[in-house]
Structure 1
Amino acid sequence: MSVQIIADSASDLPMQFYKEHNVQFVPLQVLLDGETYQDLQTISPKQVYDALREGKAPKTSQVSPEYFLKVFTDIAKQNKQAVYIAFSSELSGTFQTAVMVRNQVKEEYPDCDIEIVDSKCASLGYGLVVQHASQLANDNASKETILDAVEFHAKHMEHLFTVDNLEYLARGGRISKASAFVGGLLNIKPLLHVEDGKLIPLEKIRGKKKLLKRVIELMHERGIDIKNQTLAISHGDDEETALEWKQAIQEEFGATDFVINSIGAAIGAHVGPGTMALFFLNELPPQE
């Protein structure tokens, strides 16, 4: 591999992906019951969702500077080129910390060649960007080619998601305009998306069936050539609903290429159990 890809646990890709595709993993941190855990390494998403159901309030923090320092120093010592694709800077301080640590490493290793990209994406929307970059890296693409592809895919990645309870997002300050969603009408499902890296409420919909129907409508409005894309669905400990979404999308568009995975502990602590999220491109790269 000519370029080392680095990604953090907010991409919600399984650990197996990192191992199989030679992507360097860096974990965000989860604080629960007075202990600090490394997302996906020392705590599972299931543990976080169970804690939330029990009324506990797990907190999260960015990738530690010490973790970045070790990873970046190892890359600098090996004279590798690297691209770290980071979780949206609007949702975490991880991007800013990575830049700070990279600059620190460059003081000792002036030739350190690590590019840090703010994906402005989250969960498997971010994961799809990482997945595409890793494919290019494994095909020995140049760093410039990878950076161009990352920029394009991140810019054109649609995020549509719903949460069972906005309380988790509001508590962590992860959404704006939350006041528009105050109220507890029975079976109301808030639909949100991402604008410039921020989580923005779109509308309120009554019932799961109407919600899924609206999601498919938005795929028609925003997506392009859905049938031939890799689509991603992430869920908050609710694989059954994720598979229902997959089936409905398959029937509507004829799509066959899906990535489905649980939302990890770092994001799951803020969105809560029952969250559903869908990711697709609103434009395809010219070469595709």
Structure 2
Amino acid sequence: MTVKILTDSTSYIPASICEELDITVVSLNVIINHDSKREVDIDLADFYQQLPTYPTIPTSSQPSPEEMLAAFEKLTNDGHEVLGIFLSSKMSGTYSSAHLVKDLILEQNQDAVIEIFDSQTNCMQMGLMAIEAAKAAKQGASLNELLTLVQTIRDNSRFLFTPETLDYLKKGGRIGNASALLGNILQIKPILTVEQGETTVFTKVRTKKKAILKLIEKLKEDLEGRELGGVVVHHINCAAEGQKLAQQIEDELQTTVIIQSIGPVIGCHVGPGSIGIAYFVK
């Protein structure tokens, strides 16, 4: 019996990798002017072009129960064990919903084997967990071995990002008005991270150029005496900046860097022009 990996759309794993590794993705939803759309069905360029015109920040909701149930049922009905890896339980009800679906399936099929894992993060910090688990599953790793693997990656990974402006964090209620105003006036650039499942400030610098240098500096610091497992450059509607940062990392570390845009569920709270890196070390 093989193990299959299921994750949610806020992992932002490139579609080609999901196809190659047979990773199933359930989509969160974005609510714009009372209209709900699956995140994976939204055109990113159009969304970020329209985002500044919205009177309020779009909201999001977890995957529909029907989509979640269908995804798990397909895998278990095909005879697979399932490892579900979802965004932080402190950020969304998706993790909780996955547990409800698991219980429902087990009531109907006692032979089904499902484990639900809280990534305690989002974006490709979570995506790297799903990718490495899927690779190991293809090599025949057991479900218990995969749980140990994703736990290890979670404990040895980091997601650092810096927003172009604090306006979206302010509108989304993620920071206080005074902090947003201060940052915009003094051009303070916060570098944010995710710790224990919640977004927090890693450090602050004065310019975006210094923020980019700090991202690379921290990556190299975490790598001292260790091996890089994987690294991703994230951007929100600023592909050229993402490519430049990826090239810097590739040149300095002699490694391949994935470049991936961030979708609306996470992106609407951080805003266009934001850039960051997700990585894990062995």
TM-score (norm 2): 0.91
Contact residue 229 and residue 257 of structure 1 kept, 8 A: no
1:97-134 deviation digits (Å, cap 9, x = unpaired):
11112112211112221111001121111111111111
1:138-161 deviation digits (Å, cap 9, x = unpaired):
222111111111111012111111
2:110 matched to 1:110?
A: yes
Contact residue 192 and residue 201 of structure 1 kept, 8 A: yes
CA distance in 2, matches of 1:30, 1:218: 33
Q: 1:39 corresponds to which residue?
A: 39
Contact residue 48 and residue 269 of structure 1 kept, 8 A: no
CA distance in 2, matches of 1:106, 1:68: 14
The verdict on how the C-alpha distance between 1:218 and 1:182 changes in structure 2, with shifts beyond 3 A counting, is: farther
CA distance in 1, matches of 2:61, 2:85: 18
Q: 1:58 corresponds to which residue?
A: 58
Please report how far the alpha carbon of residue 9 of structure 1 lies from its aligned counterpart in structure 2 after TM superposition: 0.6
Contact residue 2 and residue 140 of structure 1 kept, 8 A: yes
2:261 matched to 1:238?
A: no
2:2 matched to 1:2?
A: yes
Equivalent residues in 2 for 1:213-252, closer than 5 Å = 213-224=213-224, 228-252=228-252
Please report how far the alpha carbon of residue 3 of structure 1 lies from its aligned counterpart in structure 2 after TM superposition: 0.5
CA distance in 1, matches of 2:106, 2:141: 24
Amino acid of the structure 2 residue aligned with 1:48: F
Amino acid of the structure 2 residue aligned with 1:9: S
Please report how far the alpha carbon of residue 46 of structure 1 lies from its aligned counterpart in structure 2 after TM superposition: 2.0
CA distance in 2, matches of 1:34, 1:53: 17
Please report how far the alpha carbon of residue 179 of structure 1 lies from its aligned counterpart in structure 2 after TM superposition: 5.8
Please report how far the alpha carbon of residue 49 of structure 1 lies from its aligned counterpart in structure 2 after TM superposition: 1.1
Amino acid of the structure 1 residue aligned with 2:52: R
The verdict on how the C-alpha distance between 1:74 and 1:229 changes in structure 2, with shifts beyond 3 A counting, is: closer
Equivalent residues in 2 for 1:1-288, closer than 5 Å = 2-40=2-40, 42-56=41-55, 57-173=57-173, 175=174, 180=179, 182-183=181-182, 184-224=184-224, 228-252=228-252, 254-281=253-280, 283-284=281-282
The verdict on how the C-alpha distance between 1:151 and 1:50 changes in structure 2, with shifts beyond 3 A counting, is: same
CA distance in 2, matches of 1:178, 1:120: 27
Unpaired runs of at least 5, structure 2: none
The verdict on how the C-alpha distance between 1:226 and 1:182 changes in structure 2, with shifts beyond 3 A counting, is: farther
Contact residue 223 and residue 280 of structure 1 kept, 8 A: no
The verdict on how the C-alpha distance between 1:228 and 1:158 changes in structure 2, with shifts beyond 3 A counting, is: closer
The verdict on how the C-alpha distance between 1:267 and 1:218 changes in structure 2, with shifts beyond 3 A counting, is: same
The verdict on how the C-alpha distance between 1:223 and 1:180 changes in structure 2, with shifts beyond 3 A counting, is: farther
CA distance in 2, matches of 1:170, 1:64: 28
The verdict on how the C-alpha distance between 1:111 and 1:95 changes in structure 2, with shifts beyond 3 A counting, is: same
Contact residue 51 and residue 58 of structure 1 kept, 8 A: no
Amino acid of the structure 2 residue aligned with 1:278: I
Please report how far the alpha carbon of residue 38 of structure 1 lies from its aligned counterpart in structure 2 after TM superposition: 1.0
Contact residue 12 and residue 261 of structure 1 kept, 8 A: yes
Contact residue 176 and residue 200 of structure 1 kept, 8 A: no
